[in-house]
Every structure is written in C-alpha cells, then in structure tokens.
Amino acid sequence: MLCGSCNGLILLAMIFNFKLKRINHAIWNPFTRRYKKIPICPVQTLPGYCSYVNIGLGYDSAHDDYKIIMISLVVESNYVSYPVWLFSLKSSSWRRSQDFLLGLKNGAREKAGRFANGALYWDGSDGIVGFDIANEVIFKIQKSSGSLVILGGNLYIPVPRAEDKDVDFYFYASDKGREIASGSWRKGFTVEEEVQSRYNVFRPWPLAYSKDGDSILLLNKENGLVWYNFENKTRQWVEIPGMPKVMLEVPTYNHVNLESLVSVGNDSAFDGAAEEVILDD
C-alpha cells in the first residue's frame, strides 16, 4: 500500500500481524531499486494502540533528513490521544514528538500525507491540516476542497467557479523567512471548461508541471495523458504503453514520483525485481 512519496522515494506499508494491528513499512527508491525496512514504531506495541490515523514521508531541509510522520489513535483508560511519532532515516530510529490536538474530523480522505514546501498535508472534512517537519509544528488551514494537488513542490487546491465549469487552482505559500504555518492562498492558474471538454479530461486535476512551467499534465478519459500549454492554448498527447487503467478510475489519489538517486541508507537492500543498477562514482 502506498503511504506517500517525496523526492523520488516511496513509502510503502504492509500488514504483517493483522490481529495485533501491526504494520511493516519500507522506504523504496524505484530507480536505484534499493529499499530500507523500517522498524516497528513503538506506539504499535502499546496496549491501547488502535491504528494509525495518518502517515506520510517528507524531507527536513534544516537537518538534511527524510522523515516518516505517523499519527496514531491510542485509547487508554477511556482517554483518547493522537500521538505523533517521527522516524528519522538518518538515525534510523523513532521518537515521539507530541500529541495531535487539532484532530481530523472523521479522519482524512487519504491516510497518505502530501509533501510540499517542508510540510505534510492531509485533507480532512473540516479543513486541511499540515505538519511542519523541521519545526514539528501542527497547523490548520481553514480551507478544504476535497482534493490536494502537488505541483512544482507547492500545495494546490482546485476551486470550481459557481458561474461556469472553469476551475481555479490556488497554491499555499508563506513569505520568505516566515514559517509555513503563517502562509496564505494565492491564485495560480485556471483550467477552463473549454479545455476540459475539448481534450475529454477526466478531471481537471493536473498531475505535474512541465520543466519550463508553462504546461500541465492532465488525465484524458480515453488516451491517458495530455500536456496542456495554458499560455498558447495547445496540447500534446502522451503515450505510455501498459499504463494501468486504474489511473483513469481514481485520479484524485495519484502520486507523481520523479526518479532520483536519493539513498535510503547504507543498510538498504536490493529489491531483486530487475538487474541491479550500477552507478559510476
């Protein structure tokens, strides 16, 4: 099960003891074919542990470290708590950070957090909740759209217009030198109704930006993918042989992962799925 992605690394989960509700995790780099098994989080061994509510993988630029953030549900003596635990890839260890006090009403739409601008984000039914990884600060954004989109390292949300079917995309950003929690929404671009109809777009949720930033990658109902240039209003079809149909059925939950050479640690293992990649020094 996919639990998140960041800078080419993918966080995976697999239940290995259903009765005890314990879950194994691993960080995998699909390009180098290396993976690292993550030790069980101590919270999963507590008597009152019920399940983890949300999880995610992000990058702590202040300490040059990749971290897993796990928010769990623990019930002890009729007291309910949501402890936050952090796993450091650099130290290969877990530690408790704090209790999650804001809450995600009825849980988040996705257990897997989306990483952007130094924070992980989850979209709950009562708003978007963020976790600043470097400063270990939980914050809430008073806006929710039912979908989180990551483009160019920024968090976007779609806002449909009431008068037509155009969709405006706003991105969340903070001013230089200010903490992420003090950010605000700013308008980025618009996917017009005409574009959605002409290119038979499944949903106007972009998957990625082009390198020069003038095009977005959209899902087409029949042919799969299409690049749309919103400056000169042109398109370019993308053909990927063997692309699974599930991408077209549940586009809201797609994670776009770019290849990278980021290491998952000296104690990593080869996944054995193909010949091992040998990299020159």
The Cα 257–Cα 98 span in angstroms is 30
The C-alpha torsion from 37 through 243 and 171 to 86, rounded to 10°, is: -10
pLDDT for position 40: 87
Q: Please give the Cα distance from 170 to 24 (Å, whole number).
A: 36
pLDDT of residue 277: 41
Mean per-residue pLDDT, 100-127: 72
Neighbouring residues of 153: CB distance < 8 A, sequence distance ≥ 6 = 116, 117
pLDDT at 109 over 60: no
Q: What percent of the chain is modeled with pLDDT above 70?
A: 76
Reported as a pLDDT band with limits 50, 70 and 90, residue 198 is confident
Q: What is the mean pLDDT of the chain?
A: 77
Element (H, E) at 70: strand 65-76
Coil, helix or strand at residue 145: coil
**pTM for the full model?**
0.81
Q: What is the pLDDT of residues 74-88, one digit of tens each?
A: 887 778 778 888 999
If one compares 58 and 174, the residue with the highest pLDDT of the two is: 58
Per-residue pLDDT at 278: 41
Q: For the beta carbon of residue 40, count every other beta carbon within 10 angstroms.
A: 16
CA separation for the pair 77, 280 (Å, rounded): 57
Instruction: Label residue 90 by pLDDT band (50, 70, 90).
Output: very high
Residue 186 carries which side chain, given as an amino acid letter? R
Residue 20 clears pLDDT 70, i.e. is over it: no
